[in-house]
Structure 1
Amino acid sequence: MKIKGKLLLTLFLITWVVFAITLLINHGHSYIGKSYFKSDSFLSTKETFIEQLGHYVLEPFNAEKAKENITVTQTEIEEHRNYYGTLADQVENIRAQYSDRIDQAKLDNDKELETLLVKERDAKIADINENFSNDDHVEEKIRKQKELLIEKYAAQQERNRKDFLNEFSYFSYNFTNIETGKVFESGEQITSGLFKETYGNQQSYLTVDSTTYIEPYDLVEGDDFNLYESFRYDGEVSQFEGVISIPKSMLSATNFKDDYQTFKFSKMVFYIIWATGILAAVLLFTVAKPSFQEFTTSNKLKESFLKLPIDVRILTVIIMLLSSFLLLDILGNMISNVYYFGIYNVFPYVFELLTYFVLMMIMISGTIFGAVWTFETLQLWDSYNSEHVKKEIKGAMLYRLADGMQDLFLNRKIGTQSVAILMVAFLAGIGLVGAFMSNELAIIYTILLFFIGLPASIIFLRRMGYLNRIMRQTQEMADGRLTADIRVKGKGPLANHATNLNQLREGVKKSMTEQAKSERLKTELITNVSHDLRTPLTSIITYTDLLKNPNITEEERKHYIEVLDKKSARLKTLIEDLFEVSKMASGNIELTKQRVDLTQLLQQAIGEHEEAFRNANLELRITMPDEPLYAYVDGQKWWRVIDNIVLNAMKYSLDGSRVYVTLNRKGNEAEFIVKNIANYELGENVEELTERFKRADASRHTDGSGLGLAIAQSIVDLHGGRLKIDVDGDLFKVIVSVQLDY
């Protein structure tokens, strides 16, 4: 992206104005109209000096007065008395301390040592008894301990006073106690210098309170003290008038000389920056006045930027803006210390300043261009641009993330586990940083790593491995290899997915088997239909040709006509059955249901075929209930079911055998059963007998159409019933069940 000279000048001026304004906001209150001696750093130094001056010089600790003011309370007496336990405890303890030593002296026959030890023991026991019987005795002990503490505290204060006078030797002071008139002065007294501050003389007096608390803990280390409660020394509260000052000659002796020079130099630099910032603002709105078009010119960088999702663009602008603020803060702090650092390393320091400024200019320029380009793309001023805005929002990273999170939580368990693993990984990263920073955190991190981090990692890796196995076997399924089941491990979502895939695999295998079966049956259907239609049609054509012969006899003509009539009726029946089963298969049939007595319907159907069974040399055995069985069915269609099944038994039963027809109640259903011995060997695929043009007589020598059971199956299905075929050797059984209507 090439930037023209005027646009580059505009960006520089914008950066400089922002730079100057930021420095004014952040540092103006510390420099404008102020000297170093109004800065927080010096004020802290001055307050420390005043506090210690009062404590060590103006109203120092008075040990003798503190001793005179010692008080001992009854509470202190009781605490001292019982410090080592009760009277009995203390006496027993003393005896125990001396017992071994006295016994050893006796063994050594050292009478002198034995006498001294017994005398020392008895003195201590007498002192303990005195402690518990005489308050004055205890009070005197406490008083002596407090006097010793006061002496130690006074010695410490003297050491601190010398350190103070040495550290703040560059300060001069002159104070007068307004009550006693006592004068305290030190150093060169001046009327002007680096710094001067007056107390009194129409200003507030310097008030010093010498009251203090003596802390035994700070003074008795290594000593035999049993007094550990702090006690108060009530000192004087005095007021002073006077002045403190720092002569110019003492600047080199101060501990703030570098800070002082840095402040003066930095103040000058800030004033220059603020003045040039005003000049840059004037130039920005006159010579280099920017136009909106200058920032919207198309270029490769703009095209690349606009390819980013809208939220990534906005985030990029925000990051560049925050980076600009960070760089502005760094530059402000560097300029605040420009003298302190730059005086020793001028060129590296200037180079670092320029580097940060160039980076800041790049960040501010990027912020401006990114904001303008994003705003221009959204065209918020165009009310007809809503579709474009919607498209931008749908392409946003957060939108896609939300969409992905929604998909992630379609299975709540997977979503929860995924978020938990991400949190563990994130916290593990933070914990690793903490472990490098602290030994205590390293121990805690190690424990959490072994008991949470590693188990979570192992679980995650195992799940990923299992997922890879599932994906590989899914690919094999997609490639048509349906040989092996996917192993189901555990009870989690992946295990459920594996179970579902196994069920899908079984469904695919079954579907493929059904498809192969359907293709085979379709081929057989075409073959059988062709055969069954061609057979009577061939006979019709043949006998029609024979009738054309004028030399045939009348008896022959009559015979040919009978054959033609029979074959035509056969062909008509085939075509009608074929149309009917097609209508039923397509659902294009109407049922006229009514309450029908199935017992009476079976009697009528059987009555029409009893003579035909006798002629076929078959014995018909019928079993029916005495009571009527009512069902809500289409009577005509249900009669067709009974008729087809009974005729099927008559056509395919073994000569001289029995046919059993049964109707009974089974629960809330009526059950119609027909059993017979087949005159042909039955195959294994019993279910296929209900397919169209499918017959047990594979040679098709019988006179059936092959549609009887298929029609019966379709009618039963339309009534919500069930038709089942059982074969046991040559025993053929058809069972039809339908719901009763009470």
Structure 2
Amino acid sequence: MATRLKNKYGPVIALVLLVHLSALALLATADVIRHREYLDKDYYFRNPSFHQELAEVVHLAIMVHFKEKNDPYLIETEEAGTKTPEQIRETFAADLREKEAEIAERYAADIMEAERSGNHAEAGRLAQARDQELARVKQELQQQMDEQIKSWEAARDRAYEQAKNALAAQGDTIKYYIKDRNTGKVYTNHSSDLNIIRDLQKKAAYSIHFPLASPKNWSIQQANEFFLTNNLEGYFIIPQAASGYSRFQDDYTYALGIRERLLNECILLVVSVIAAVGLFVYLRKRSPWDFPLVDRCASLLRRVPLDARVATVLAVGLVTLSWVRDESFFYFPIGLKHVTTLSFTAACIAYLGLNASEAWRLINDHTLLRQQWESSLYRKFRTLLAESFANRPVFFKASLIFVLTIGLGTGMGFVLTSLYYGSKRLFLMGASCTLLCLLFVLPYILSRVALLNNILRGADEMAAGNLDSLIAERGKGNLAHLARCLNNIKLGLRHALESQMKSERLKTELISNVSHDLKTPLTSIINYVNLLKRPDLSPEEVSSYIDVLERKTHRLKVLIDDLFEASKMASGSVELHMERVNVAALLNQALAEFNDAITESSLTFRVQTEKPHIHALADGKKTWRVFENLITNVLKYTLPHTRVYISLTEQENSVVLTMKNISAYEIDFDPDELFERFKRGDQSRHTEGSGLGLAIAKSIMELQGGRLAIELDGDLFKVIVEFQKA
């Protein structure tokens, strides 16, 4: 039992472990890459933030011990301002010169006027007033300058005290030793003995010796310039251990902790990769039937269009990379967030792995790849776009309506925004845009909707079978064109319906006529056969009955032969031998064959040919059959004691034969129906004709590329036969 469960769920468990181990390896890789600088044991001491903090300590030491040098770098603070006492005095001198020039210019004109007029007392008084004002302005500016210098010195002293307290607060965090090479004076918080300092430097976690040859950090470079300028030498040392709290050592310990964690993650990464590879090899040996859930997921995935699948893979890949890059996973204590982070990453990897498997399948099966590409969104959009551009006016109108609709929304947004902020200009812009869109878009849309409703009502009428109603065709747009097309479809349907009804009627008549024409001689044959069975018949009666049977069987044979030939003509299964034929000679020959019948009839034939040799491209035997059928019809259905006119003319591209006669029967139906099989002008069907002559003749002419038509003018019956000119 346990073995069976193991065989059943083993592959599934291995697959789940593979996905989660891959997620764990990915998280470990991302964390190692993100903090790769910490793998270097001394990375903390090369960190710009460390150099910034170190530069602050160096700056404090310089401020505390070298304030009396009045270096602007030392005494500039935010509280004191950016101007030094020298700059304050220069500003005072410039302001004083400007005031003196202004006052002197103001009094100069009055003093010169007084001296010119000889009023020396007034000139002296004005000069005295000028000097008094100058003295007063100078005293005021001097007082302002003294106050600014005192304020600067007070701020400097406060900054010094703050720096002194901050330097003292460093305690054992950092040891410094600064020596003035000019005076030999030493400034230190540890020992004045340089040897002790150097021994401390050897055991220190970090140390720096000023001046430096080429400092890289800007803050360190600024302090280094001070050491070079003032001929100073200095050591700043961070001990391995401090008696109290040390910010540097605490940060250094934190950096070492990150390094130790990264080393453990590297070990975890290697173990995860090895285990994942082993599981992958194990799963490769399993049958696909062991993973029904994977197969169902793959079948669902195949329903997604190929390009949408690619876009989803890119999106999930970017989300996964962004997730693992920014997510903190390796910390304690382990909680629910670790589970959710690992599960989410595993789910993303499972989805990407499933897509990778499908991609490999498509690479190996080009037919499937082509099928899925044909059903992609790109192909569908391309087809849709091509169909949209097939009628560009419709596309541009729809695009214009879309743009104007956006403009309507934008205008209304401007109006609402202007009402909120009280902006008249924005209100005018929004109102103008909205009004413009309403004036153009709304009437157009309403008119199109009204026309569309009319078209829909007309389509409903058409679907209901009402082919008499017409759709109003307003305007010249595409909807009006659609209305015209629907109206044309209605007319076509009505015409097709009428033609179908006519065809059904003719089929019914055809069946009736065929039955009648075949039944008549067959009935006679049966009756005379029964008569011949009588024993009391005389030889003369037998001979008479046999003559009748011979005529009736011949009649039946003619009907069957004509019907068979008409069927062959209609199906096109007739072999023609097209050649250059003298139609005039062929017509004369046909008339000569019927000379006895014409002579016995009461008809008078008038034949006219333009010339004795008129050639056409035709089959001679089949054309003879056409002439035979037409002359036979003339003899059968022409009113007695009338004339028959036959003319043969040669035109530019054709040869035309025309036969005119007066019909003995009233033709009160469509003359085209005479071309139908078994249709006769004698609807009582008393004549001997089969009703197939004109149908056969018309089929022959059409197969030869010619034409046979009938025209009626009252009782005047006119047949027009047109041949291709040879």
Please indicate the TM-score interval, normalised by the length of the shorter structure. 0.5 to 0.7
Please, which moves more after superposition, 192-201 or 27-36? 192-201
Structure 1: any 5+ residue segments left out of the alignment? 70-114, 120-146, 210-236, 339-349
Distance 2:256 2:444 in 1: 62
Distance 1:581 1:554 in 2: 40
353, 361, 364: which one pairs with 2:345?
A: 364
Q: Deviations over 1:701-740 (max 9, x none)?
A: 2221101101101110111001111122222211111111
Please, which moves more after superposition, 720-729 or 2-11? 2-11
Q: Are 2:701 and 1:716 aligned?
A: yes
Quote the residue 2:524 is aligned against. Answer: 539
Quote the residue 2:300 is aligned against. Answer: 308
- SS at the partner of 2:677? coil
- The structural deviation recorded for 1:182 is 14
Q: Are 2:542 and 1:566 aligned?
A: no
Distance 2:501 2:154 in 1: 106
- SS at the partner of 1:637? helix
Q: Deviations over 1:584-623 (max 9, x none)?
A: 2222222222211112222222233344334332222222
Pair 687,409 (structure 1): closer, same or farther in 2 beyond 3 Å: farther
- The structural deviation recorded for 1:672 is 0.9
Letter in 2 for 1:329: R
Cα contact 1:625–1:664 (8 A) shared by 2: yes
Pair 374,506 (structure 1): closer, same or farther in 2 beyond 3 Å: same
Letter in 1 for 2:725: L
Distance 1:447 1:245 in 2: 72
Cα contact 2:638–2:662 (8 A) shared by 1: yes
Q: How many residues align?
A: 604
Quote the residue 1:654 is aligned against. Answer: 639
Please, which moves more after superposition, 162-171 or 19-28? 162-171
Quote the residue 1:25 is aligned against. Answer: 33
Pair 711,247 (structure 1): closer, same or farther in 2 beyond 3 Å: same
Distance 1:478 1:321 in 2: 54
Letter in 1 for 2:326: I
Pair 11,651 (structure 1): closer, same or farther in 2 beyond 3 Å: closer
Cα contact 1:172–1:244 (8 A) shared by 2: no
Quote the residue 2:512 is aligned against. Answer: 527
Quote the residue 1:585 is aligned against. Answer: 570
Q: Deviations over 1:193-233 (max 9, x none)?
A: 99975542666698779xxxxxxxxxxxxxxxxxxxxxxxx
Cα contact 2:647–2:659 (8 A) shared by 1: yes
Cα contact 1:283–1:289 (8 A) shared by 2: no
Distance 2:691 2:643 in 1: 22
Q: Deviations over 1:1-39 (max 9, x none)?
A: 989888766655544443232112112215743465643
Quote the residue 2:603 is aligned against. Answer: 618
Pair 656,183 (structure 1): closer, same or farther in 2 beyond 3 Å: farther
Pair 612,204 (structure 1): closer, same or farther in 2 beyond 3 Å: closer
Pair 709,464 (structure 1): closer, same or farther in 2 beyond 3 Å: same
- SS at the partner of 2:641? coil
- SS at the partner of 2:691? coil
Cα contact 2:658–2:718 (8 A) shared by 1: yes
Higher relative contact order, structure no. (Cα contacts within 8 Å, ≥ 6 residues apart): 2
Distance 1:305 1:423 in 2: 43
After superposition, residues 88-127 of structure 1 pair within 5 angstroms as none
Pair 48,287 (structure 1): closer, same or farther in 2 beyond 3 Å: closer
After superposition, residues 304-703 of structure 1 pair within 5 angstroms as 304-310=296-302, 311=306, 319-332=315-328, 354=335, 357-370=338-351, 373=354, 389-390=365-366, 392-393=368-369, 396=372, 399-405=375-381, 407-408=383-384, 411=387, 413-414=389-390, 510-549=495-534, 551=536, 559-703=544-688
- SS at the partner of 1:290? helix
Distance 2:446 2:468 in 1: 27
Pair 540,245 (structure 1): closer, same or farther in 2 beyond 3 Å: same
- SS at the partner of 2:722? strand
Distance 2:271 2:531 in 1: 122
Pair 540,284 (structure 1): closer, same or farther in 2 beyond 3 Å: closer
Distance 2:439 2:50 in 1: 55
Pair 63,740 (structure 1): closer, same or farther in 2 beyond 3 Å: farther
Quote the residue 1:214 is aligned against. Answer: none
- The structural deviation recorded for 1:422 is 13
Letter in 2 for 1:592: H
- SS at the partner of 2:35? helix
After superposition, residues 155-234 of structure 1 pair within 5 angstroms as 169=163, 198-200=209-211
Q: Deviations over 1:332-364 (max 9, x none)?
A: 4x98xx9xxxxxxxxxxx89x955543432243
Distance 1:723 1:45 in 2: 113
Quote the residue 1:133 is aligned against. Answer: none
Letter in 2 for 1:275: N
Cα contact 1:313–1:370 (8 A) shared by 2: no
CA RMSD, Structure 1 to Structure 2 (Å): 6.2
Pair 30,372 (structure 1): closer, same or farther in 2 beyond 3 Å: closer
- The structural deviation recorded for 1:671 is 1.0
Distance 1:301 1:29 in 2: 43
Distance 2:229 2:439 in 1: 69
TM-score norm. by structure 1 comes to 0.62
Distance 1:313 1:163 in 2: 70
After superposition, residues 70-85 of structure 1 pair within 5 angstroms as none
Distance 1:700 1:283 in 2: 103
Pair 629,377 (structure 1): closer, same or farther in 2 beyond 3 Å: same
Quote the residue 1:278 is aligned against. Answer: 267
- The structural deviation recorded for 1:294 is 5.3
Letter in 1 for 2:574: I
- SS at the partner of 2:524? helix
Q: Deviations over 1:455-507 (max 9, x none)?
A: 99999999999999989987987887766677778888888777777666666
Quote the residue 1:218 is aligned against. Answer: none
- The structural deviation recorded for 1:567 is 2.5
Quote the residue 2:101 is aligned against. Answer: none
Cα contact 2:18–2:280 (8 A) shared by 1: no
Distance 1:559 1:538 in 2: 17
Letter in 2 for 1:325: L
TM-score norm. by structure 2 comes to 0.63
- SS at the partner of 1:411? helix
Distance 1:299 1:464 in 2: 56
Cα contact 1:674–1:735 (8 A) shared by 2: yes
Quick one: percent identity of the two aligned structures?
Answer: 30
Cα contact 1:175–1:183 (8 A) shared by 2: no
Cα contact 1:318–1:367 (8 A) shared by 2: no
Letter in 1 for 2:697: A
Pair 566,35 (structure 1): closer, same or farther in 2 beyond 3 Å: closer
Quote the residue 2:138 is aligned against. Answer: none
Please, which moves more after superposition, 18-27 or 31-40? 31-40
Cα contact 2:211–2:232 (8 A) shared by 1: yes
- The structural deviation recorded for 1:668 is 1.3
Cα contact 1:413–1:493 (8 A) shared by 2: no
Pair 575,453 (structure 1): closer, same or farther in 2 beyond 3 Å: same
Structure 2: any 5+ residue segments left out of the alignment? 1-7, 64-70, 77-81, 92-108, 114-140, 169-175
Letter in 1 for 2:32: L
Letter in 1 for 2:508: T
- SS at the partner of 1:675? strand
